[in-house]
Amino acid sequence: MSKVKWSSLGLSVVVVIALIIWIATGEIKEASTEAPAEPEVAEQERTRVQVTTLNAQLYEPGLLLQGQLEPWSAVTLSARVAGTVESIAAELGDTVNAGDVLLTLSEDGRGAGVQRWQARVKKLEADLSAAQKLGSRNLASQSEILNVESELAAARAELKSAQLAVSHLRPTAPFDGVINRKDVDSGSLVQVGSSLYELVRTDRLKARGQVPQQSVAQVAPGQSVRVQPLDGEPLDGVVTFVASAANPETRSFAVEIAVENPDQKRIAGGSVNLRVALADVQATFISPAYLSLGDDGRPGVKYVDEQNRVVFRNVKLLSVSTEGAWVTGLPEETRLITRGAGFVSEGEQVEAVDASEERG
């Protein structure tokens, strides 16, 4: 083969090889201009919180007040006539019934005065009868008849006064009760108005308290009250009176409560805590440790909804103690966040784990 032919053949081979390289290089460059696929981003790990499911219950809220216990009835018996104490029928601490005689005072001629006026009344009654008969025959004037009637009326009034004075010589108990104080002894000389006894009724007591103006609308006669003395068993009571106007100094309303005390416990005069029962409501019992303050400064709790998102809900405190708090404002069933609430915010989706499962 000649030299020229080899030169042509070599040139052809070089051109073919160059074309192949050019085409390959172009495909690579074209492919490199395409955007690479984005790598899959790993899903962000959710915050893990512990939850406990709480159910609302029927709860009877109460209005707490401070009060003072008093006897249901208390009276100081005083002498209504002057005299000397002849005998004592009731001693200090005795239980007496209504109508029982407590003591006897000297008569000092009062019985004779009754007899004198009784006789006077009988005479005037006879005189009046005679005058009326004469008047029917025009033998006595109308003025004479009226004069006798006037004298008779005056004599009857004097007789009643004398009889009343005699009855006051034996003062009686106005109601069933206990002699709480005795101010006289046999031989004591008393004047009108002198104190004899103090009688109290303690089988029923009266509690007095003050209701704040913001709560008075919740209290009405007939409501049940739990009365707790500072030292002793609680007693049952009923609201009997709520003032219609507030005390101008304290802006609170007076309330009175009838308290049954069948055992006659010696608690009258002492301080008591009063819990006025209010209408039943649906409420949830939670630990005070799970309460927090919202942006508005009101108390609330954090819980998770059905989508495991954090919800903050304001609640109304019905009662708070060291054991727990009764609150309203939560759903009937609440998945309360009991651990991790401080690390999550409202609206955040979390991984909720039931406390019972973690214990298991």
> What pTM did the predictor assign?
0.63
Strand, helix or coil at 129? Answer: helix
77 in Cβ contact with 171 (< 8 Å): yes
On the question of pLDDT at 87 being above 90, the answer is yes
On the question of pLDDT at 202 being above 60, the answer is yes
Range in 172-181, 255-264, 279-288 with the lowest mean pLDDT: 279-288
353 in Cβ contact with 51 (< 8 Å): yes
| Number of Cβ within a 10 Å radius of residue 266 | 10
Range in 36-45, 142-151, 301-310 with the lowest mean pLDDT: 36-45
| Angle between helix 110-136 and helix 142-167 axes, rounded to 10 deg | 160
pLDDT at residue 113, rounded to an integer: 86
On the question of pLDDT at 31 being above 50, the answer is no
On the question of pLDDT at 3 being above 70, the answer is no
pLDDT at residue 25, rounded to an integer: 54
Residue 306 tokens read as 């059905």
Q: How far is CA 208 from CA 103, 235, 251, 253, 254, in A?
A: 33, 14, 16, 11, 7
Q: How far is CA 235 from CA 65, 204, 207, in A?
A: 15, 11, 11
Strand, helix or coil at 284? Answer: strand
Pairing of strands 235-242, 299-304: unpaired
* pLDDT classification of 20: cutoffs 50, 70, 90: low
Q: How far is CA 351 from CA 49, 151, 354, in A?
A: 6, 105, 10
Q: How far is CA 245 from CA 171, 225, 248, in A?
A: 39, 22, 9
254 in Cβ contact with 224 (< 8 Å): no
Residue closest to 302 by CA, chosen among 333, 344, 359, 354: 344
286-305 mean pLDDT: 84
159-185 mean pLDDT: 93
| Residue given tokens 């395409």 in the structure block | 34
Q: Quote the mean pLDDT of the chain.
A: 84
197-209 mean pLDDT: 95
On the question of pLDDT at 13 being above 80, the answer is no
Calpha distance 259→322 (Å, rounded): 28
Domains and CATH numbers, the chain: 49-59+281-359 (2.40.420.20), 63-70+202-277 (2.40.30.170), 107-167 (1.10.287)
On the question of pLDDT at 97 being above 80, the answer is yes
pLDDT at residue 4, rounded to an integer: 44
Q: DSSP secondary structure string, 239-257? A: EEEE-SS--TTT-EEEEEE
253-280 mean pLDDT: 91
On the question of pLDDT at 43 being above 80, the answer is no
